Amino acid sequence: MLQSIRKNIQGTMAKIIVGLIIVPFALFGIESLVGGGGARYVAEVNGEGITAPELQQQINQQKRRLLMSMGENIDPSMLDDQLLAGPTLEFMIQKKLFLQAAGEYQMAVSDAALGNIIGAIEAFQIEGKFNSERYRQVLSDQGYSLGSFQDSLRDDLLMTQLRAGLSGSEFVTKQEFNQMAVVNEEQRDLRYLVMPLDDFRSEADLSEAEIEAWYEQNQQSFKTTESVVLEYVELSAVDFYPEVAEDEVRELFELERDAFQLPEERAISHILFEQGEDESDGELQARIEKVVAELAQAEKSFAELARIYSQDLGSANFGGELGLTSGDSFPAEIEAAVAALAVDEVSAPVPSDAGWHLLKVTEIRAGKVVDFAEVRAELELRLQQEGGQRELVKAVEELRDLVFNAEDLAEPAASLELELHTGTEISRNQQQGLFADPRLISAAFSKEVVEDGYNSDVIELDEAHYVVLRVSEHKPPSVKPLREVRGEMLAVMTEELAKERITERAEALLASLHAGASIEELALANDYPWQVELGAKRDNRNVPASMLARVFTLPVPVDSDSLFDYVQTAGGDIEIFELVRVMAGNSDTLAPARRQQLSGRLLQEGSSAVDAHYQKALLARADIERS
């Protein structure tokens, strides 16, 4: 492939391709790079817009949730923006409708309630206690700012409040409860026997002719997996690590000596005052002075006053604690004020973009000087990594040039004094080792490499790991000979024959039951286990679940005539049963705990139905425009 491109790179077709690439960039590229003019709505809900950046942010958060829940097992296609965009937008529209409805009902979430909830979230705690540094770090990792998280949480609480109101409007009538009791408390008497599939496996006796005929008819089930035998060259930065002289390591230490000094840290708390929309500067200052006066009186501690007055929702419930800072965790004006305080000293009011702060230093931890011996190994490794990465980049570029023209990988490997690995066989569904990587599997089985015989591109697995490969032998799928699959075939054939025979036997026994035989007679005659279950309910644990589900789908027996049927379990056993009698449920006989349980289930089902109908009603009357 690369060789062919190189031969034709100067031709007319190349110029046409370049032109086709340039035109879209000329028309759309600049705007996409520098940004268009203003936010573009992807949808409007009753006049309120949802912008493309808002949608993308929600998509990104959905990706994070998927990655956190599924980890390495996730299918990469699940993270495709186009796949997520539609459902995510519909979720945002529905959320917008709920928030608009909550606004119409004048619902609200107080700052105090929001603060209590944030403080109680375990993800923001260290040793069971809210930690502001942890709070900020977790939000940063999840792509939230403090403000956007609090807004999102407030929205979720409003939606929960609205839905709780809807659920609270649901009730259960006596007629509904009685009808549910009739169905859910219904009891059924039955007898049943179990036919084990193992009994029929042992009866399977297959002739050679049957085995050969089955093999001929099912050859497609016994094909080998397509595979290729590879030769490849692998490059890693560690292979290029240079020897590092002692004076180089020491020189780096001297250059970065300051970075290895652990700075002094201060634990701080604060009381935050935010100016209200209708509050004057004078009123704000009066509020601050009132708290300053209370601090001076020393009747209440700084932590107690922070719980009462601070408007920082995250830290107020924990006495205003903000955690440790080494001088760069908070805005400059706060850091400057903190640096001038002694332990237990409270600052004068300090302004910042968030509001006004009263700051207190609760602890000062001294810094530490790190000596050369403590960081020598770290510095040496860094120098090796830097040198190895430089040499790796050079080797990769040279390798790209060599494999572009080479007929195989032997010459490029020899030129760069790299090891050529040979004889490595992999399949399309490779699960282990280096070639379990989907990028390498895709390259190894590509048309250019398998059919045309070209070297692959030099494939970057990460910035310090590259592979180039070539197929030396292609092994298409082929039918395995009978001698190789005989054991596997016999197991399959035996299972199929056993299931055929057990089904035939079940039909014969069922006919005997219809003719007047009893479950007990048939069980004893054939040495099958059998049981009687009186008053079985839908949640009965004694009756096999597969049979119980079928029993409760049958009609009520007429004129005391039993009904007969059978089910086959996932393991292949067959359960033949006789439905003798059905007794309808009666709400009057229910114990109080059971009445409460059924009533709760009805309420839950009714609440879910109300919620679904309400969502439909909001959508039906909404003015929604999707772009």
pLDDT tens readout for residues 257-314: 777 777 788 889 999 999 888 889 999 999 999 999 999 998 899 999 998 999 887 7
Question: Dmax over Cα atoms in the chain, in whole Å?
Answer: 103
H/E stretch holding 565 reads strand 563-568
DSSP class of residue 109 equals -
State the Cα–Cα distance between residues 97 and 163, nearest whole angstrom. Answer: 12
What mean pLDDT comes out for the span 392-408? 91
pLDDT score of 365 = 85
pLDDT score of 28 = 35
State the Cα–Cα distance between residues 252 and 254, nearest whole angstrom. Answer: 5
Q: What are 49's two structure tokens? A: 């817009």
pLDDT score of 489 = 87
Q: Is 624 helix (H, G, I), strand (E, B) or coil?
A: strand
pLDDT score of 133 = 75
pLDDT score of 15 = 37
pLDDT score of 316 = 83
Q: Which of 31-35, 52-56, 227-231 has the highest mean pLDDT?
A: 227-231
Among candidates 366, 369, 382, which has minimal Cα distance to 237? 382
pLDDT class of 72 with cuts at 50, 70, 90: low
Decide which of 388 and 15 is more confident. 388
pLDDT score of 195 = 95
473, 233 contact by CB (below 8 A): no
State the Cα–Cα distance between residues 475 and 481, nearest whole angstrom. Answer: 15
pLDDT score of 38 = 46
Q: What is the pLDDT of residues 564-600, one digit of tens each?
A: 999 999 999 999 999 999 999 888 888 888 888 888 8
pLDDT score of 499 = 92
Lowest-confidence region among 72-76, 159-163, 348-352, 573-577:
72-76
Residue indicated by tokens 């990469």: 76
Q: Is 364 helix (H, G, I), strand (E, B) or coil?
A: strand
Residue 402 has pLDDT above 90, yes or no: yes
Q: What are 360's two structure tokens? A: 């207190």
Look up residue 218 and give its amino acid.
Answer: N
Ramachandran category for residue 116: left, alpha or beta (phi over 0 → left; psi -120 to 50 → alpha): alpha
Q: Of how many residues is the chain composed? A: 627
CB atoms within 10 A of CB 412: 23
pLDDT score of 34 = 34
pLDDT class of 532 with cuts at 50, 70, 90: very high
Give the list of residues 6+ apart from residue 606 with CB closer than 8 angstroms, or none.
170, 171, 172
pLDDT class of 29 with cuts at 50, 70, 90: very low
Residue 143 has pLDDT above 90, yes or no: no
Angstrom distances, CA of residue 286 to CA of 46, 305, 364: 42, 16, 31
- Positive or negative, the Cα torsion across 386, 391, 394, 399? negative
Strands (E), 405-526: 421-427, 459-462, 465-475
State the Cα–Cα distance between residues 92 and 534, nearest whole angstrom. Answer: 52
pTM over 0.75: no
Q: Please, how many CA atoms are within 13 Å of residue 111, restricted to the half-sphere of its CB?
A: 16
What mean pLDDT comes out for the span 217-234? 91
State the Cα–Cα distance between residues 336 and 328, nearest whole angstrom. Answer: 10
The overall average pLDDT reported for the chain is 85
Look up residue 75 and give its amino acid.
Answer: D
CB atoms within 10 A of CB 551: 25
Q: What is the pLDDT of residues 505-519, one digit of tens each?
A: 999 999 999 999 999
Q: What are 365's two structure tokens? A: 């931890």
**What are the φ/ψ torsions at residue 147 (nearest 5 degrees)?**
-65, -45
Q: What is the pLDDT of residues 226-268, one digit of tens each?
A: 999 999 999 999 888 999 999 998 888 888 877 777 778 888 9
Among candidates 108, 111, 109, 110, which has minimal Cα distance to 315? 111
Nearest-Å Rg of the Cα atoms of the chain is 37
Decide which of 31 and 398 is more confident. 398
Angstrom distances, CA of residue 437 to CA of 63, 244, 454: 21, 33, 20
